Copies of this chain bind each other. A is one copy, B any other.
Amino acid sequence: MLKRYLLAPGPTPVPPEVLLSMAMPMIHHRAPDFVPILDSAKKGLQWLFQTKNDVLILCSTGTGGMVGAVNNFFNPGEKALVVNGGKFGERWTKICRAYGLAVEEVPVEWGYSIKAGAVESALKKDPAIKAVFVQATETSTGVYHDIEGLGKVIRNYKDTLFIVDAISALVAQDLRTDEWGIDLMIGGSQKGLMLPPGLAFVSVSEKAWKKSESSKMPKFYFNFKKERETLAKNQTNFTSAVTLIIGLNEAIKMLQSEGLENVFKRHARLANATRAAVKAMGLGIYSKESPSNSVTAIEAPAGIDGQLIYKNLREKYGVTGAGGQDKAKGKIFRLAHLGYADTFDVITGIAALEMVLKELGYNMKLGTGVAAAQEILMQ
């Protein structure tokens, strides 16, 4: 028997309460039984997104929400500014280009965070830019981008939408949709929300709805106007992912009973403990600035392949983290502390890491990282 521990930046572990709620018999998505369920999910998401805007519920992965944030609001040839500081920044560029937008990238070195000034300069130079696309947490590098700071800049440009992929940041970071002027914010089910993959969420501001009226791109499955109309009737445009929405209510109930501020504190505490442990073990954090509270990207020690660390964690100790992607492949590995995560998930991850590194010949006293994590976790 090898007991399994899921410490990946999504999918994340699903709490037993949620698993059991989803094992209830099926109900019909157009029958009155489902109305209060969708109504509750809708309101719960508004609470989590800290918004009065509609939060659409889509049956797709988070990427479907990202696609919808492009094809409902723009026209081919319109200019978009993409903050590209990793694999998911690249995804914004790819989606925008697939739909014919003229993309200008603000490149950010992997492991670093965007400076609001760089976006401000680009917007000043080219007032035709219709949107700024960014990740809240760039999962590939473990960096949290300063969404509040970007919001302060972008809100001065009345024809520019501020579009935030918060798929892996939601729940782990305090993201104030309305207060910070985020026009579109995208979430996914299988990250901080502790659910299986299969739902995307998109909050849409009035400014964005207004801009959507000019969009002529072909759309059918991700048709936000239709989704808004059906959401008002506590339905979704096509068949609702009934099971996942029932689970969503259960997950939100858990987060609400903990309290939003405590949820953010818990994630900060786990992230701090992980980073302290990593440093105590003599390893580097790949995120040189603004490390995220969702996932920690850790540099492999000289001479040891990061993919091998990831592999041994999983195969020898049952701990599934994540490797590095693209140019970070082999150089880093990642441990998440996201969603249904607490003290001993961090301890498990760090202890397993110590054992793997020791076996790979890394010179370190066992327990060093664990002790550093404990110091913080006990506070």
A contact residues vs B (CB 8 Å cutoff): 4, 6, 8, 10-14, 19-20, 22-29, 31-32, 59-64, 67, 71, 94-95, 98-100, 188, 190, 196-198, 217-222, 238-244, 314, 320
Per the bound structure, the CA–CA distance linking A59 and B22 in Å amounts to 17
CB-based contact A221/B31 at 8 Å? no
Query: What B residues does A243 contact at CB under 8 A?
Result: 22, 196-198
Given A8-B28, A19-B25: 9 more A-B contacts, CB < 8 Å? A6-B25, A6-B26, A13-B26, A59-B198, A60-B221, A99-B218, A100-B218, A198-B241, A221-B221
User: What's the dominant secondary structure at chain A's contact region?
Assistant: loop
CB-based contact A222/B221 at 8 Å? yes
Q: A28: which of B11, B19, B60, B98 is its contact (CB, 8 Å)? A: B11
Which B residue's beta carbon lies closest to that of A58? Answer: B60
CB-based contact B19/A98 at 8 Å? no
Per the bound structure, the CA–CA distance linking A183 and B190 in Å amounts to 34
25 contacts between A and B (CB under 8 A): A4-B25, A6-B25, A8-B28, A8-B31, A14-B25, A19-B23, A22-B196, A27-B320, A31-B314, A59-B59, A60-B221, A61-B239, A61-B241, A63-B221, A63-B238, A71-B218, A98-B218, A98-B219, A190-B239, A196-B242, A196-B244, A197-B239, A198-B198, A198-B243, A198-B244
Per the bound structure, the CA–CA distance linking A133 and B19 in Å amounts to 39
Per the bound structure, the CA–CA distance linking A59 and B67 in Å amounts to 14
CB of A204 to closest CB in B, whole Å:
18
Q: A11: which of B13, B220, B242 is its contact (CB, 8 Å)? A: B242
Chain copies in the assembled complex: 2
CB-based contact A29/B13 at 8 Å? no
Per the bound structure, the CA–CA distance linking A60 and B26 in Å amounts to 18
CB-based contact B239/A10 at 8 Å? yes
CB-based contact A11/B25 at 8 Å? no
CB-based contact A197/B59 at 8 Å? yes
CB of A139 to closest CB in B, whole Å:
11
Q: A22: which of B4, B23, B25, B220 is its contact (CB, 8 Å)? A: B23
Query: What B residues does A26 contact at CB under 8 A?
Result: 6, 11-14, 190, 196
Interface centre among A24, A62, A190, A239 (most CB of B within 10 A): A239
Per the bound structure, the CA–CA distance linking A100 and B63 in Å amounts to 24
Which B residue's beta carbon lies closest to that of A10? Answer: B239
CB-based contact B242/A197 at 8 Å? yes
Known: A196-B241, A221-B60. A23 touches B25 (CB 8 A): no
Query: What B residues does A12 contact at CB under 8 A?
Result: 26
CB-based contact B60/A94 at 8 Å? no
CB-based contact B197/A29 at 8 Å? yes
CB of A63 to closest CB in B, whole Å:
5
Per the bound structure, the CA–CA distance linking A229 and B4 in Å amounts to 29
Query: What B residues does A31 contact at CB under 8 A?
Result: 8, 314, 320
Q: A60: which of B23, B59, B240, B314 is its contact (CB, 8 Å)? A: B59
Q: A221: which of B23, B27, B64 is its contact (CB, 8 Å)? A: B64
Known: A196-B243, A197-B240, A222-B221. A25 touches B10 (CB 8 A): no
